[in-house]
């Protein structure tokens, strides 16, 4: 269905849209029932609303065939389930955009695939951390703390900080599993920055599959790390430069799943780095 068709069809469904969106009680009932059947008392406790108001709205929802009453337990119909799911996604998305609009509205988001942009509601439990003039390294320290507390690390990066190598070496001493997708320039810079002894150790860890490296040729505008415990994500500004003072952070399961899908997206585009590549890059640098 085209946009024109949708606009022309609006008149057919506008009353239904108004019915679903004009009552906060109805919305809360639909969302409350999305996790399973409930009695009136359960919904009263869940929503904090009076039972009289809930009963009144329940009757309206029943007439619309959105909920069903089975032995005083209220269930969502199949249509009700679909509507409740859409409402939840929309609310979660609005929470993300409201709480971290400085990141999403003022930065490049083209490096995030469309299907994951449509699911940014999964980041609704995230927090936007910002460095300030008196503490410009705040986000940098937060990211370092996330990776130092991890047992498994996956990341995509188009940026390089000299002290990343120190953090990287600390992580490797803890036998943490590391998977990194790096842009071409960052991969070369990372290898060149290793001392011969450190580079040999990196080769050994790649052989032992504790460390896995990939190279990606495209111009990536997002830098993120997803561990077994947290997700951190930063974006490039509209001018094309990575913004180091804004970092989205979350430890919620939904955010970790979202981050892993984003990693898989880039992994499919990347080329595995082998020991021969490391030898060539170091000797030709």
Query: Residue range 73-98: average pLDDT?
Result: 92
Three-state DSSP at 11 gives helix
- State pLDDT tens for residues 200-224: 888 888 888 888 999 999 999 999 9
- Using CA atoms, how far apart are residues 233 and 186, in angstroms rounded to an integer? 17
Size (the chain), residues: 285
Distances (CA, A) of 45 to 35, 54, 80, 153: 15, 11, 21, 41
**What are the residues whose beta carbons fall under 8 Å from the beta carbon of 240, sequence distance 6 or more?**
108, 221
Position with higher pLDDT, 25 vs 13: 25
**CATH class (in words) of the domain with range 3-88:** mainly alpha
Q: Is the four-CA dihedral 7, 94, 66, 26 of positive or negative sign?
A: negative
- Using CA atoms, how far apart are residues 275 and 96, in angstroms rounded to an integer? 42
- Using CA atoms, how far apart are residues 84 and 94, in angstroms rounded to an integer? 15
pLDDT for 194 equals 74
CATH superfamily to which 100-284 belongs = Endonuclease Chain A (3.30.870.10)
The full set of domain ranges for the chain reads 3-88, 100-284
Nearest to 142 by CA among 250, 17, 3: 250
Long-range contacts of the stretch 110-113 (C-beta < 8 A, 24+): 110/221, 111/220, 111/221, 111/222, 111/235, 111/236, 112/222, 112/262, 113/262, 113/265
Distances (CA, A) of 69 to 64, 76, 77: 13, 9, 10
Three-state DSSP at 149 gives coil
**What are the residues whose beta carbons fall under 8 Å from the beta carbon of 226, sequence distance 6 or more?**
153, 154, 155, 256, 259, 260, 262, 263
Find the radius of gyration of the CA atoms of the chain: 24
- State pLDDT tens for residues 263-276: 999 999 999 987 77
Q: Is 126 left (phi over 0), alpha (psi -120 to 50) or beta?
A: beta
pLDDT tier for residue 284 given thresholds of 50, 70 and 90? very low
pLDDT tier for residue 279 given thresholds of 50, 70 and 90? low
CA 152 to chain centre: 17
What pTM, to 2 d.p., does this model score? 0.85
pLDDT for 4 equals 62
The percentage of residues in the chain with a pLDDT greater than 70, rounded to a whole number, is: 89
- Using CA atoms, how far apart are residues 26 and 60, in angstroms rounded to an integer? 9
Over the chain, what is the mean pLDDT? 87
Burial class of 74 by CB neighbour count within 10 A (0 to 12, 13 to 18, 19+): buried
């Amino acid at each position: 269905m085209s946009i024109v068709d949708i606009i022309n069809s609006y008149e057919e469904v506008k009353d239904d849209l108004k019915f679903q969106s004009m009552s906060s009680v109805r919305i809360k009932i639909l969302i409350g029932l999305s996790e399973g059947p409930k009695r009136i008392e359960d919904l009263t406790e869940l929503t904090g609303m009076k039972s009289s108001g809930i009963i009144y709205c329940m009757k309206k929802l029943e007439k619309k065939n959105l909920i069903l009453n089975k032995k005083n337990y209220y269930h969502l119909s199949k249509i009700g389930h679909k509507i409740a799911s859409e409402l939840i996604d929309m609310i979660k998305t609005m929470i993300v955009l409201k709480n971290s609009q400085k990141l999403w509205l003022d930065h490049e988001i083209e490096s995030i695939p469309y299907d994951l942009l449509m699911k940014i509601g999964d980041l609704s439990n995230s927090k936007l951390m910002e460095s300030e003039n008196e503490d410009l390294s705040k986000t940098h320290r937060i990211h370092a703390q996330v990776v130092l507390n991890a047992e498994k690390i996956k990341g995509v990066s188009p940026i390089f900080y000299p002290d990343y190598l120190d953090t990287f070496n600390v992580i490797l001493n803890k036998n943490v599993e590391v998977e990194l997708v790096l842009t071409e320039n960052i991969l070369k810079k990372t290898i060149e920055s290793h001392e011969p002894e450190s580079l040999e150790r990196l080769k050994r860890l790649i052989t032992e599959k504790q460390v896995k490296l990939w190279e990606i040729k495209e111009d990536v505008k997002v830098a993120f790390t997803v561990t077994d415990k947290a997700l951190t994500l930063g974006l490039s500004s509209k001018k094309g430069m990575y913004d180091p003072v804004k970092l989205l952070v979350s430890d919620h399961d939904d955010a970790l799943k979202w981050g892993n899908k984003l990693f898989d997206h880039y992994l499919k585009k990347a080329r595995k780095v082998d020991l021969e590549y490391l030898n060539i890059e170091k000797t030709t640098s």
